[in-house]
Amino acid sequence: MGSADAEVTVTYFGSWKCPYCAQFSTGMLSQLVTDYVEPGTIALEFRNLAYIGGEPFLGPDAPAAGQSGLAVWNAEPASYWSFHEYVFQNQPPEREQWATADQLVEFAQSAGMSKTEVVRTAIQENQYEDALRATGKAASDSGVNSTPTLLIDGTTINPLGNEDRTRRLIEDAAGQS
């Protein structure tokens, strides 16, 4: 999300199944978008952490949720952030295995995606397994081991309870301080 001309890219490592990511995504994130993404100060990318240490993170269904996000992004990028917002606003409890093809297709439909069958196909065929595992490795290489975590100019931070420091890191990276 944001301008390709933004000088700073902030990477948000999150999990579709993480209740803390839902809290961040439905709260503070919208203000960061308003304050920094919309004016072109930063670009924001979401990287789903479906695996940590090679194992599914937050349940065996976590990779399916990751498959769905990548399917939406690759098939209909204009629908991606609506899907992102919808899933986090309607996220079932973490302990439930809710990330099924049927549930994720329903979320994609509710978020306004028109090509929802690509979500089912991605999950059934495990199309983005390599990408999900690569994200897990990139997260590990960056020192990320929990969600939500923002990577800002080489520094990682959990934005929950750290809004002022998060903003300082963004502003420092963008040369605004």
Is 167's pLDDT higher than 80? yes
The whole-angstrom separation of Cα 16 and Cα 97 is 12
Q: In this predicted model, what pLDDT tens digit does every residue of 52-61 receive, in sequence order?
A: 988 999 999 9
Report whether the peptide linkage leading into residue 148 is cis, meaning its omega lies within 30 degrees of zero.
yes
Alpha helices in the chain (DSSP H): 19-25, 28-32, 62-75, 80-89, 101-110, 117-125, 129-141, 163-173
| Lowest mean pLDDT across 32-36, 65-69, 94-98 | 94-98
Is 135's pLDDT higher than 90? yes
Neighbour count for residue 126 (Cβ, 10 Å) = 12
Domains assigned to the chain: 8-173 (3.40.30.10)
Q: Nearest 5°: phi and psi at 39?
A: -75, -5
Task: Please state, rounded to an integer, the average pLDDT across all residues of the chain.
Answer: 94
pLDDT at 5: 84
Report the relative pairing of strands 149-152 and 8-14 from DSSP bridges: antiparallel
pLDDT at 177: 58
Q: In this predicted model, what pLDDT tens digit does every residue of 23-35 receive, in sequence order?
A: 999 999 999 999 9
Mean pLDDT to the nearest integer, 64-69:
97
